[in-house]
Structure 1
């Protein structure tokens, strides 16, 4: 696998970090090292899921699906780069809905005239996604309204309080979603693709756990190096931290997942491709974002879920077009091109957005 060749950047990143090399080189090496490590984390999780059964396996996949991005965001949170963390949350939602789904639909559509998927399953996920994104944006609307009547200092404290309450609600919704998907209605949401893809484990439990722990630890180190060199690298590349958080970090953190969705689409398994793109987005909104909010309290650097107007508009646009694509249960290459076009437009706006 091509990504495995990038493992050479793991020792390179350690060498550059501990020899106090140029920050730009550390950033580049760490980013490249994270790509294959994320892939190995995903492979180890799949092996454990194959042994644990569908219910526990689904929970494992849900838990570790966005682990790489969560680790990167946690170290950014520790470094006080709160705006980068919030941008990475929004960027992950945009990346999954527009880039991942767009590539899968576009490339699959070039090979197959029309691709179909379980409309009931996709519809339930998009409904959950719409509700969760609205919940994420409530603090932003609250902030805009409260600033009309209250002092900025008080509003910021209220923003944090509201975000904490929102985080708890979202985690409860995540638990409800897991129970619904894996227990009470798993027969409704199952697909022929999923049944055809089931396979026995190829690794022992010890090997899978060892790989998962080892990859997670290395991702932690790479994330710390990445965040520590972020400021130098952004200046060197002429990029804003906003662009890095919204565009680059989500792509780096979810590269292996992105590739899997496209490969399933090329095999005409659009059910699985949609599950990856939409399911990962729901995980970010219902689990990753609230966990980071609660973690910020423990770190002593409280983070609210208030985002910039451009982020708010971008998320609404992504959810609207994603809903329009999945509503009829089939896709073609033009719909994929539309999703990618919206992503490029948003990426361009963020690139030119004043630092």
Structure 2
């Protein structure tokens, strides 16, 4: 049984499937076609042939041939990524890739962009996030569905399917795929997690890696549901605490925030900072806690400087016990 999530891909919507030619994306294409879905394949060429010995061009040519055999259209876009010391930053590559997929989806009248992330990817991501000290959101790994922008929705129908199950199913369908040699490189931390940590966990718990990955993926969905609820509560609470709002300026009732449950207070402070500077993605927990404790402990006025030009002020009792956020 191939336990992909059909509810994420309604039959009336056209789907751009992000594909590299690897097993996961080929399984997603073949499965969607077997379910009579309206599919366009989208391929992003990272133009790294000089680093990969011409593999980018070969991969695209192979994928185009397979799409012709399957009777599905292929649309591709080449992106040029900035390199430092011959290497491409993974986060930069991911941002460029998703931007290209959005353009391809819009150009081909697709409402959905489907990626082939599996339960195994979720497990590896969870381990990496825990290693970085992630909170509840990081522990939920990736969402099975989320807005992508421009009216598009990103879906991951294979979120509860393990990597080995994908390959077994492809073989049962007499399908082929490409193996990306970079998946074997120990230069990438995720590859080491896949090759060393996951087999160790599988051995410790006496379960196959796919079974373990599926359990983690299901639990991650529960964590994401709870995180989404807490985020909505924090947004609602933030609106109630605002005493002044201006362009890139926000002032909050510090006494009311002080009396909030600690988990909610931290989220409200994080949302307030992002409301004045949307580009502020990462905020260290220690910084959030330092600001919160200024109100709890009744400290005197203090100002903190955060990333991306964000300033945070605790006014103290002399100026109304307020938190002020602004961006410079």
TM-score range, shorter chain: under 0.3
Question: Larger strand proportion, structure 1 or 2?
Answer: 2
Question: Larger helix proportion, structure 1 or 2?
Answer: 1
Structure with greater Cα Rg? 2
**TM-score, normalised on structure 2?**
0.26
Structure with bigger RCO (C-alpha 8 Å, 6+ apart)? 1
